[in-house]
Amino acid sequence: MKILLTVLFFSLSAFAQDAMLLSSNVQGAQYPQMTPDRRVTFRLRAADATKVQVRVELPKSVTLDMTKGDNGYWLVTTAPLPPGFWYYSVIVDGFTTLDPASKTYFGYGRECSGIEISGPDSIAAAALDVPHGTLRDVWYYSPSTKVWRRAKVYTPPGYEKQNNARFPVLYLQHGAGENETSWSNQGRETFIMDNLYSVRPEVRQMIIVNDNGIVPARNPAPATGGGRGSGRAMADNLFAEFGEILTTELIPYIDKNFRTIPDRDHRAFAGLSMGGAQAFRLGLAHLDTFAYLGAFSAAIGNLDLAKDYDGKLADPTTSQRLKLLWMGVGKQDSLHDGLLGVHQSLEKAGVKHVWVESEGGHVWGEWRGYLSQFASLLFQDTPAPKKR
């Protein structure tokens, strides 16, 4: 996707006539502002600076020079931006930092500013007048890493009212450079699920757990096979430490502290990008734990079904054991061709799976849609709790 950005300067009075504040602004912030045609104006006060820029992480990163105006304020306005969630940073005399007017989102391995550009599909991820679930922070001790870990846990709207009901669980992972907050913040998983249940009551209500899948290695990482296509390093990475945390620490904690149905038929594991690679690696390694796997723009490619994942994908019993293997990727995603090859290899081998190609790139707008599609297919062969 090629986005042409031009630097425009508007007086505050003229711009304010048709501009709106963004939902990603902090409370009370008057900028960034967006016009109805999705042009965004950024403003930053840096009275003593000699050069100020904004870098917007669109599918292709773009850096814009800001223009200094009155009272030390710098401004810049973009050309119309595509709908979706976009990270951005401000650069003041060469120093990259946050925009104090923006909420922060963990991405690229650091806190970033962000803008939410609404579009035709935004309503699915918006806060609407429907029953809402609850998002909790939980802390649990990890004996294997000797640290306390935080997870985000979403319980659906029916959880609080149905005191005797038990629920299946989706373990949903973020991408590289993100963390356990990413699906609830930039991913808007809570609103997506609340809205999904409202318009499609037949979808099974479930608990969703987000954990940090990036565990600092205590030993040097082993060399990977490498060189076999896009995303190969993620396919070769065993994610061994997180796998131990997931199966021996996190899942037991969730089963003990929430009303789950604690068996493989009621557990799913999915993720985006790196998290999609984890879904393949750890999900296939623990088929006794998960019956549903989902890979959103998974960072894998050019698989050898007979060798990768201990040959699980070439074993016909794997298809029999998995209730769902789901893969999705955008046609403009840099990982598309590698994942298309995986899909074709799975088809040739007769491995049952769902394959979805969307139009976009490696962005949150695609992954939000994938969550809705994937969740709609989960746990449909067991009855939902009766409403009271």
pLDDT per position as a tens digit, 40-53: 999 999 999 999 99
The token pair at 298 is 């998974």
- Listed as ranges, residues in the chain with pLDDT below 50 are 1-16, 217-229, 387-388
Q: Report pLDDT for 384.
A: 55
Give burial (CB, 10 Å; 0-12/13-18/19+) of 109: exposed
Helix axes 189-199, 364-376, angle to 10 degrees: 40
Q: For residues 273 and 23, what is the distance between their CA atoms, to the nearest angstrom?
A: 26
Token digits of residue 42: 């950024």
Residue spans per domain, the chain = 12-119, 124-376
Calculate the average pLDDT of the chain: 89
Q: What is the pLDDT of residue 10?
A: 35
Query: In CATH terms, are 12-119 and 124-376 the same topology?
Result: no
Report residue 290 as tokens. 């998960």
Q: At the fourth CATH level, which superfamily is domain 12-119?
A: Immunoglobulins (2.60.40.10)
pTM of the model: 0.90
What's residue 52's pLDDT? 97
Overall CATH class of domain 124-376: alpha beta
